[in-house]
Amino acid sequence: MAFRVSKTVSGLILSPRVQRISRRAKALRRKLSGQRPEVLYFHQPDDPYSQLTAQVLTELQARYDINVQVKLVNEPDDDAAPERLALQTYSRRDAALIAPYHNLTFTDPGQQPSDASLKLARRSLAASSNLPKAAAEIGEAYWSDDTDKLDRTAMVSDDQTERVFREGTRLRATLGHYLGATFFFEGEWYWGLDRLPYLEERLAEAGLRLSGCRQITAFQTRPEFMGSPSNGKRLTVEFYPSARSPYTAIAMAETLDLPNHYPVNLTLRPVLPMVMRNLPVPPKKRLYILRDSKREADRVGVPFGKIVDPVGEPVRRVYSLFSWAEEQGKGGALLKEFADMAWAEGLETGSDNGMKQVCKRAGLDWETASTIIDNKDWEGWAEENRLQMLKSDLWGVPSYRLLDENGEELYACWGRDRIWLLAHEIQKALTG
């Protein structure tokens, strides 16, 4: 049985008032203790995002009155990374693409470095007394598969190494996360470069940014409006949403608006939610995604947080109407109104009355819809869409594929976090 998020629970854990009270209490406790503020950073050496993030650790410590404590961690458990090979391949490719935009370096070697390099890197990291500095240096040797360089570093035994990584992994789980490249500060999590601006803003609000220092990172933005090129070329963006995904919900409006800003045709290819495909989603992952979706929604001005979880029958019912809605050019409107009701307004969507409201808001006729709803025709295309995602090393939602005029893939990415890069790739393809 899939875990269902209730309106009461979501209202509590996503409440801005609760967050403010929690932050004030933790800040007061810190000040009363007289201890220097501490930011925990969880580093996974074979994770590309950890290698990118490690490159800013010394600057972070230099610009803020904090102590950065680096904890070494193992890879995520299978329930948190159900498509591990796809995750590895995609992470390398994505890290290499975003690195220049952050003035950092990462080269995708095309495969994970050797097990021998990883073993040496882990032993070397476990021996380091200055991990904020050593993490990036050792990582550079690891990602270059330079066993000779790694072999010349100080190391501890295999047993000591396993103990250090086990302790870091256990602490991460206790505090409530599952990924590498994550920061933890006074009760809240920040993943990688994409969420580091939130941490920096919070540190600044707490008066911890040193005088004269600027923020290291910033949220990436997409290029401005781009008119049709003189040659009349148009590309295709394939959008892979899930009706039960918080990240999809907050990406829906911006994604549907892309053809109004760039010369692209948008094709929607919905997929079944992970939990409805019997893939596990651990509680700490569900909780982080909800909280992360809320702060992202607040940042970009998208309503989110009053939730009646549409898992199960509501998803099946809206998917059963999708092809019919698409024939009328309203497939996107159907999914957006469904998402708004379920994830922003706390309205029930699975009943006839709920689906009637979804259709009405999307400009669709309920009398006709009522004769179509609950068919099983959608099951085939939903699975085809999922398999196409996997071919591009994508597994989560929302995902995107950029295709040229011949249907060849130019770029593929996961998440609303990469819409800005998708826009850059559109410009590159049309003007390069």
CB neighbour class for 197 (10 Å; exposed up to 12, middle 13-18, buried from 19):
middle
Residues 240 and 198 reside in one and the same domain:
no
Last residue of a domain, one of 205, 221, 248: 205
pLDDT for 411: 98
- Segment among 3-12, 175-184, 239-248 with least mean pLDDT: 3-12
Residues 71 and 131 reside in one and the same domain:
yes
Residues 386 and 296 reside in one and the same domain:
yes
Question: Per the domain annotation, does 220 fall within a domain?
Answer: no
Residues 194 and 310 reside in one and the same domain:
no
| Cis upstream peptide for 270 (omega within 30°) | no
Beta bridge partners of 185: 188
Question: Per the domain annotation, does 12 fall within a domain?
Answer: no
Residues 343 and 278 reside in one and the same domain:
yes
Higher-scoring residue by pLDDT: 168, 395: 168
User: What is the rounded distance in angstroms from the CA atom of residue 258 to the CA atom of residue 239?
Assistant: 11
Q: Is the pLDDT of residue 218 over 80?
A: yes
For residue 323, give its domain range: 235-431
Q: Is the pLDDT of residue 2 over 60?
A: no
* CATH code assigned at 257: 3.40.30.10
Mean pLDDT of the chain: 95
pLDDT in tens, 140-156: 999 999 999 999 999 99
Question: Per the domain annotation, does 224 fall within a domain?
Answer: no
Q: How many domains does the chain have?
A: 2
Per-residue pLDDT averaged across 121-127, rounded? Answer: 99
Angle of helix 378-391 relative to helix 313-327, nearest 10 degrees, comes to 90
CB neighbour class for 78 (10 Å; exposed up to 12, middle 13-18, buried from 19):
exposed
pLDDT for 4: 63
pLDDT for 1: 41
pLDDT for 79: 85
**Cα–chain center distance at 163:** 29
- Predicted TM-score (pTM) of the model is 0.94
pLDDT for 230: 60
Residues 63 and 189 reside in one and the same domain:
yes
End-to-end CA separation in angstroms for the chain: 50
Residues of the chain above pLDDT 90, percent: 85
Residues 181 and 70 reside in one and the same domain:
yes
Question: Per the domain annotation, does 155 fall within a domain?
Answer: yes
Residues 181 and 242 reside in one and the same domain:
no
pLDDT in tens, 41-55: 999 999 999 999 999
Question: Per the domain annotation, does 146 fall within a domain?
Answer: yes
**Helices in 279-400 by DSSP H: which ranges?**
283-300, 313-327, 331-339, 352-362, 366-372, 378-391
Question: Per the domain annotation, does 8 fall within a domain?
Answer: no
- For 70, the 3-state DSSP assignment is strand
User: What is the rounded distance in angstroms from the CA atom of residue 170 to the CA atom of residue 335?
Assistant: 39
Per-residue pLDDT averaged across 249-257, rounded? Answer: 98
Higher-scoring residue by pLDDT: 11, 366: 366
Q: Is the pLDDT of residue 3 over 60?
A: no
Amino acid, res. 126: A
Residues 196 and 277 reside in one and the same domain:
no
Nearest to residue 199, comparing CAs of 222, 218, 172, 179? 218
